[in-house]
Amino acid sequence: MYIQQRTLAAPVHFKGTGVHSGKTVDMTVRPAPPNFGIRFRRLDLPGKPLISGHFNRVIDTSLATVIGEDGCIVSTIEHLMASLSGLSIDNAVAELDDYEVPIMDGSASVFTDAIRDAGIAVQDAPRMYFVIESPIELKRDGKAVCIYPGNRRTISATIRFDHPAISEQKYTVELSDGNFAREIGPARTFGFYQELEYLKRYGLGKGGSLDNAVVIGTEGVLNENGLRFPDEFVRHKILDSIGDFALLGMPIMGHIELYKSGHNFNHEFLKEFFKRKKSWRTAPIDAAENRALSG
Ligand SMILES: [Zn+2]
The whole-angstrom separation of Cα 63 and Cα 133 is: 33
Cα distances from 65 to residues 3, 76, 80, 223, 282, in angstroms, run 29, 5, 11, 25, 25
Selecting among 20, 79, 263, 267, the annotated active-site residue is 263
CA dihedral 102, 105, 106, 110 (to 10 degrees): -70
Amino acid code (one letter) for 173? V
To the query of whether residue 263 is one of the catalytic residues in this protein, the response is yes
Alpha helices in 119-231 (DSSP H): 179, 193-201
**Confidence (pLDDT) at 291:** 57
Q: Superfamily for 4-126?
A: lpxc deacetylase, domain 1 (3.30.230.20)
Shortest CA distance to 250 belongs to which of 289, 282, 273? Answer: 282
Whole-model pTM: value is 0.94
CATH for 128-294? 3.30.1700.10
pLDDT in tens, the chain (295 residues): 999 999 999 999 999 999 988 999 999 999 999 999 999 999 999 999 999 999 999 999 888 899 999 889 999 999 999 999 999 999 999 999 999 999 999 999 999 999 999 999 999 999 999 999 999 999 999 999 999 999 999 999 999 998 888 899 999 999 988 999 999 999 999 988 888 887 777 777 788 888 899 999 988 999 999 999 999 999 999 999 999 999 999 999 999 999 999 889 999 999 999 999 999 999 999 987 765 554 4
**Confidence (pLDDT) at 293:** 57
**Confidence (pLDDT) at 202:** 77
- Rounded to 5 degrees, what angle do the CA atoms 274, 87, 43 make? 80
Ligand 1 centre distance from Cα of residue 66 (Å): 13
Give the domain ranges of the chain.
4-126, 128-294
Shortest CA distance to 234 belongs to which of 279, 187, 198? Answer: 187
**Confidence (pLDDT) at 176:** 85
**Confidence (pLDDT) at 207:** 82
Ligand 1 centre distance from Cα of residue 46 (Å): 30
SS3 content of the chain, % helix, strand, coil (to 5): 25, 35, 40
Ligand 1 centre distance from Cα of residue 266 (Å): 13
Ligand 1 centre distance from Cα of residue 131 (Å): 26
Ligand 1 centre distance from Cα of residue 43 (Å): 25
